[in-house]
Amino acid sequence: MAEHTDVEEPSATRSAHEGILRRQSARESAARTYARALPIVPVRARGLTIEGADGRRYLDCLSGAGTLALGHNHPVVLEAIRKVLDSGAPLHVLDLATPVKDAFITELFRTLPPGLADHARVQFCGPAGTDAVEAAFKLVRAATGRNGMLAFAGAYHGMTSGALEASGDAFDVRVARLPYPQDYRCPFGAGGPHGAELAARWTESVLDDPKSGVPLPAGMILEPVQGEGGVLPAPDAWMRRMRRITADRSIPLIADEVQTGVGRTGAFWAVEHSGITPDVMVLSKAIGGSLPLAVVVYREELDVWEPGAHAGTFRGNQLAMAAGTATMAYVRENGLTERAATLGARMLEQLRGLSREFSVIGDVRGRGLMIGVEIVEEGEGGGARSGVAGPRGANGPDETGRSGGSRGSRGSDEDCRAAGLLGSVGLSSADDARPLVMPGSIASPRPASPELAVAVQRECLRRGLIVELGGRHASVVRLLPPLTITDEQATAVLDRLADAVAAVSRGHGRGAG
């Protein structure tokens, strides 16, 4: 792996690079995103490495927003694509049966949670995850005869209208929002099992209170790890609680595994950490092996659709199915899920050490090779909190890779009142200007700093490291390296990130990006 250098590239190369960027800015939509923060022109790529038109090399920890489970141009993926191309097979087949599709479905079903795989149907959708989300909503609405949906604060499910309604930044809300458990910015000020318990109680209250304003919904959709929401792993016990709540009320549970699937979190599917079996799984990104593909897998009892109830011209992407089959098989046969769990835990632990050194790091969290580093304003109070996968100790991290103080698994009445679940708590005039602190509550975190996060991202790019930003305030530096990343490459990634954080902490790069 070549290290980055800051030497000047030849003028002709630099001119070509700058010309492409200039034409992109002049001709492409103002809606472009990654291109603004990452002014590079990739021309070659292999594994973790991208080479730009300017001759510089970068370590890519964006991985196509999690699409590239095996990194760029993995040999098994290229071979699978070449085999289809060389065979003379049709590349466009609508939803007709083909040997390539049959092999894909067979491999996909081999990986699914047994409780689902044994009694499942699969629907091929348009080639983006958002279309699979739309299909899942249509499916459960048709199956239940109900219309409303339950989703969670901070969620991201896509950019089409129905998926946006269930996402955290919706404008026209027709979906009931529920609290998603998290430690660092827990909406109840509790975090840990206590905060998750309060969130679960809130969900039960919304569903069981006849005056909540939320009728029995057609389904609930959740991400086992919120990605765009800031890399927030759901506690396993909370996931099991959501499964129990929905099952008891005949509400289909939809697991959005678009970004968490195919080994990313240290299990082939992130729902496996908790042992639950959802009624519906929405899959995209890595299942296409770097090419566009999206499917919905669901219990056969829900298959009430009429022919053509959900269709799409490009739902039969043969090259993507071949690449996806090769990717899933490689991950399964080479133990890359276990590798992601082990290496991810090690990287989280090292980042936890970094958070103790730099006050701009407010929290470190993640699961497997889905890692987030929240950047906050510098100052005293609400210090860094971080965790690594493992059993919870008195004050240590829980199984999700998040940390919290010592708390019971159920909240007291006083705590629930403080969270607004059992009524109000009287405050004196001297107290009403101060935040209510309940027993076992966590310290208030420092404000998120999107400006410093942008500075960290920029400093990373200067050092040849590509990272994404996410989270509620775009203040979480996200690492999504390929599952094939080596120990040496992981060290290089963390070294460059540490250098970038140090540079920002010294006051460099504070301006607008």
pLDDT at site 33 = 86
What is the structure's pLDDT at 35?
86
Q: For residue 363, what are the β-bridge partners?
A: 374, 385
pLDDT digits (tens, 9 = 90+) for 204-222: 999 999 999 999 999 999 9
Cα–Cα distance for residue pair 81/86, rounded to 1 Å: 9
Strands 465-466 and 57-60: parallel
Q: What integer pLDDT is reported at residue 378 of this predicted model?
A: 85
The answer to whether 337 touches 268, Cβ cutoff 8 Å, is yes
What the block records as the tokens of 345 is: 């835990």
Residue 201 φ/ψ, nearest 5 degrees? -65, -40
C-alpha–C-alpha distance, residues 421 and 274, integer Å: 26
Of 256, 222, 269, 228, residue with least CA distance to 241:
222
256 phi/psi in degrees, rounded to 5 = -85, 100
Three-state DSSP class for residue 120: strand
- The answer to whether 376 and 445 have CB atoms below 8 angstroms apart is yes
Q: Are 360 and 375 in contact (CB under 8 A)?
A: yes
pTM of the model: 0.85
The residues of the chain scoring below 70 in pLDDT are 1-10, 159, 161, 164, 168-174, 380-443, 508-513
Burial of 20 (0-12, 13-18, 19+ CB in 10 A): middle
Yes or no: say if 226 and 114 are a contact pair by the CB < 8 Å rule: no
Q: What is the pLDDT of residue 169?
A: 59
| Short-list 274, 278, 234, CA closest to 254 | 278
Taking only the tens place, the pLDDT of each residue in 283-340 is: 999 999 999 999 999 999 999 999 988 888 889 899 999 999 999 999 999 999 999 9
